[in-house]
Each structure stands twice: as C-alpha cells, then as structure tokens.
Amino acid sequence: MLLPALNQARSEARDLVCKSNLKGLMSGMIAYAAANGEAVVPSYNMRGITGGRANPLDGWAPILDQGGYVPGNDTLAGNPFVCPETADFPGLAATNRGGNADDPWGYMDWPAVITFTGTYATTIPQRGYNKIIRVGYWINGENPIGAPREVRSGTYFTGSVGYGPDPKGRHLQTSYFVQFRSPERLVALADGVFAGNQHATRRGQVGLRVGYRHPDGPGSANVGFADGHADAATSDRFPRAADQGVSVEEVRRENAGSGPTLYADPAAFLERAP
C-alpha cells in the first residue's frame, strides 16, 4: 500500500526539481539579455544553411555555461540543463529529424555537429567552448537547418542566428525580449530535445521534440515561459505552429486566448495568417 504513495511522492519531487531547473534557466537567459542589449540567447550560432564538421553549432546551453549564467555538465546528475525524468539515452543520435516517438525523453549533448545522417558532440576550442553540456530541454527556436528555407526572424522565442542566406538573400537575426508581446504566455523551454518542429508538439506526431515526461492526464511537459515562470502543459493543450499539415484555423485557436503560445507576437501572426 505504501509503494504507490512513495512512487507518487518521488514523481512529484522530480516534477518540482524540473520546474525549478526551468526557472533557473530562464533567470540565466534574462541575465544574458541584460548583459547583451536585451538579446535572447540563440538556440545556436551558425553560418550557412547546414551544419557539419566545418560548421559546429555551439548551443544555448554552452553559451549560458560559458558566460557563467548557468553552469552545466555532461551528466544527468546535478545538471540544471536536464529534467530529472530525462531518459539515459541520446534523443537525436541517428538523425536531426527525430523519428522515434521516445526521442524527446532522451537528451542531446552540446556543442554539436549536426548532419542528416548523424549528430555528434564536440568541443569548439577556437571559440572558447571546451566542455560538453548535456541538455534535456527543448528550446522554442526557428531552426531551418539543412535547406535554403525562408528566414522568419523574431517569429518564435529565439533561433539559429546566422542561418542563411535564404532564397531572398537574408540571414536569421537575433531575437530580443522587447519583441515579445505576451512573455507570460510565450513558450521558451520545455521538456524535450533540440529545437524547432513547432508544428509537431503533440504526442503521436512525427518529428516530435517535446518530451511528455510527467504523468498528468495525456502526458505533461514542464514549460519555461519568457517572463521567467514555469508551469506544466499537457499534450492536448500544447500549441502548434502553422506548418506541415496543421491548419491555420487550429493554430489560431491553439495560440489565442490566455494559454501558452509559440509566437513572439501571436496577435500579429494570427492577423496575417491566411
């Protein structure tokens, strides 16, 4: 009789640690912004449109660690960059597309070399990144890596700064906290791995990056919001972006109102969406 209650208490304790991690990470991001003209930490810095060994990506966690905003490490223990419920396997070891439904339960090590055939952790000594940081949280970033897709700077919380050129010759620019219209609603971080795929944030969708690691209802992911607070979002309530089969009507409904949104300026998006 005591075992279920004990397991429940442990699960609730891990849930609280996860929310505390997210609040600490958001505090680190806000401190980074204060020291960098209100800039949001990039999901990663890059050049060109692809990764590869000649173009390693630093990652938001190593950036925060390097600057002393949030120290991290390459383990699952005592590391604020991972949820305590993170599974002990690399979530995107085989491909950056993410095809396994269990992938978001795992972690990803940064900095990284990312290709369509594999993902490899690496240090970048020439840029001052001399340690690997294990990360078990997804960041709400615009990451159109691998093809010359249209740049949409400022659409989400952050992005892969430097990506480009797109078909119109543009490069992805830094996002700024002053661009956020509803920071208390804007999803910044969530249980999961890597970044992007905002159209696939619900359980069962191909390419899911959000990890529903906590046992509420249909599965619950803890979320860090742009104003610094943390809360939970169930799979049936997590918003999606207008892309790859998700109708604009659904996206309008999911991102409007008082619930979470993926968009830095949701009203502007909802007005211009066809």
Select the more confidently predicted residue: 99 or 240: 240
pLDDT band at 227 (very low <50, low <70, confident <90, very high): very high
Select the more confidently predicted residue: 119 or 27: 27
Least-confidence region, from 65-74, 214-223, 227-236: 214-223
CB of 251 closer than 8 Å to CB of 156: no
Question: What percent of the chain has a predicted confidence (pLDDT) above 70?
Answer: 92
Buried b (16+ CB within 10 A) or exposed e, 227-256: ebebebbbbeebbbbbeeebeeeebeebbe
Mean pLDDT of 123-147: 95
How are beta strands 119-121 and 112-114 bridged, if at all?
A: antiparallel
Let me know how long the chain is: 274
Mean pLDDT of 54-79: 96
Residue 178 has pLDDT above 60, yes or no: yes
Select the more confidently predicted residue: 117 or 182: 182
Whole-model pTM above 0.85? Answer: yes
pLDDT digits (tens, 9 = 90+) for 4-20: 667 778 888 999 999 99
Residue 183 has pLDDT above 80, yes or no: yes
Note if the bond before 144 is cis, omega within 30 degrees: no
Residue 236 has pLDDT above 80, yes or no: yes
What pLDDT score was predicted for residue 101? 66
What pLDDT score was predicted for residue 272? 65
Residue 182 has pLDDT above 90, yes or no: yes
Average pLDDT score, the chain: 91
CB of 30 closer than 8 Å to CB of 228: yes
Q: Which two tokens stand for residue 229?
A: 């607070």
Residue 163 has pLDDT above 80, yes or no: yes
pLDDT digits (tens, 9 = 90+) for 81-129: 999 999 999 987 665 555 566 789 999 999 999 877 778 899 999 999 9
